[in-house]
Structure 1
Amino acid sequence: MAYEQLKQEVIAYSKEIGIDKIGFASAEPFAELKARLKEQQELGYASGFEKGTIEERTEPKRLMPGAESLIAIALSYPTRMKNEPKSVKGDRRGMFARASWGTDYHIVLKEKLDKLAAFLQEKLAGFESRSMVDTGELSDRAVAERAGIGFSGKNTLMISPEYGSYIYLGEMITNVPFTPDDTITDGCGTCTKCIDACPTGALVEPGRLNSQACMAFQSLTKGFMPDEHRNKLGNLIYGYETCQVVCPYNRDVDFHHHEEFEPDPELVKPRLLDLLSISNREFKEKFGKMAGSWRGKKPLQRNAILSLAHYKEKAATDKLIELMQQDPRPVIRGTAAWAIGKIGEEKGFDAIEEAMKRESDHEVLVEMEKGLDFRIEHTN
């Protein structure tokens, strides 16, 4: 009874500190997840960003030997912004996916979990815990699902009946034997909108994602983006969210519960040409507090170049020529050459031919050839 009362006190306190949903689960091993993760690995579907071994990711007691229960939390985030700047010809803008709006959610959720831990520490002698948000070994989604936060959708995202999939997740392992909450049964039914809308077929079957093919994953890579993905990025420079946008659970969902997650329109929808000229210091000062900055500026700049190609933005040709000629990074030089060709100005093709005489990097030369191949398309 004492633990049940404590649980109710934790729930009440979680509301006080602005946690939208909280759930409790057992710390038993995640047997089904373990088998699935092994399959993912064998199929080559893992992203490579996962932390820890499969055993550590599915057995809480390996991370904290005294583990008795798990606490899952969820915070909603907004889907619409006020005063959204327009992306127009001559002044094109990119877009950070909604999951990167406002202050980095890792920081915000970790603070909430720290407050919960401090609350429990005061109430209980010998209290032990370990918290994680996204970058820990445990699967946030598996913990949240077991704790009744929501159900795992066919798009592999946690879907809450109240907040849709626009939620951030975090969890805490504790040595307190809290009573587990009931799980929510699958709510997708026969709907396959996310699978049908996935532009690369990354959702290979309901609930299974080939991370390597996912556009959100591709937006984070640091090398050349595969040819077949380049035209699918649109104006997104970080993340990808078609599988969320089409989900019926996300229709008209837009919660503004947390000031920290409110978007700065100029940051989440930045001018693409400005992004190509930004220094490391400026980038850190301007974008450093956003979740989308964690991979550094290079992937974002590569994606910005692809976005300019998507728009066929002729006003960007001179800047792209400058990057192709002078940037020390092969990925930026090569992607710029490809984009110049796609935009299709004659001075751009001439610049590619001239730059090829001085270029020594094989991969960049291949991209320059691809850029020149667009000339046929533009002369027809």
Structure 2
Amino acid sequence: MLFKDMITVVDTYEEISVHELHSGDPIIELIFPCPWYQKVPLSLALSPRIISEVARFKPDIIHASSPGIMVFGALIIAKLLCVPIVMSYHTHVPLYIPRYTFSWLVKPMWLIIKFLHRAADLTLVPSAAIASDLLAARVTAANKIRLWNKGVDSEKFHPRYRSYEMRLRLSDGEPEKPLIVHVGRLGVEKSLDFLKRVMDRLPEARIAFIGDGPYREELEKMFEGMPAVFTGVLRGEELSQAYASGDVFVMPSESETLGFVVLEAMSSGIPVVAARAGGIPDIIPADQDGKTSYLYNPGDLEDCLSKLRPLLHNKVLRETMAKAAREEMEKYDWKAATRMIRNEQYNAAIWFWRKKRAQLLRPFQWLAKRFFPSPQVN
């Protein structure tokens, strides 16, 4: 089946991806801040204007990012318009809740996730590990959970963006020193305090944090007096340069659903040292561990340092692994990933939707035949 177009809804209002809603006047919508991320505006996306624009657009399918607030609006619109809905599960919120608020909220969150994904026609997950977690929690039927293949913009994240000026900036004026790079949201759930323990054992190295988040202020205090640079959020070519200008990318997070920053780092031609947890082993499987990048046991400082030190100090090893990482990522560009989701996953969602609709209509069809029988034709 070919799709004339679709609607995609993500979970923060500032990134609303209803790309075709460009009819001039501003969309009036109630926006409120996220309780734990005051800088992130949230919205249900249920203003009459949005609903009417989506209805006029006549999508074949609606794709919503879950969990989030806007996904409720997407679900309501899909049901109102009788359109299939796909939900992709990107943030493993039940794992984050104990780090930010009361642990007793974990069970209610699982109930919300179950409600959303059982109402969806298909659930897409970024890794086999997350699929296992959702199956274990009985979030939805096993045949309605599908893997969304990894993809990366291999042109935007490319070794050619390596820049001496950017390296000078990231190393705080010491470009000849080994440079560790970390890109991502600075949140307590990312286990970034582990990098403090790493840097305590690598006084010769420098580290640069690219990104922002609620944990930044605490991290800056933690790294005070150490060779660490905090750039804040970088975009466009600056972000491409930041990736490509480091020596090694370190990913200590143990709760990544996939870890797109790992894909982007490898595509940029720098090897990764990452925790063997979450969706990361899907990017660096066992047969690639030690070839394209390294995995270490979560929280194991000695294991991490045993992988990190050789990369920082052996240029030949680093360049060999960086080249292998880049070649591996060239196989996973977004065009291939998009073809897969368009030609297979969306068609599966539509099939499930049609089957559910037929099951719901069956009793009414039986009643109609019972009370309004078709005339006999001789």
TM-score when scaled to structure 1? 0.22
- The higher relative CO (CA closer than 8 Å, separation ≥ 6) is in 1
Which TM-score applies when normalising by structure 2? 0.22
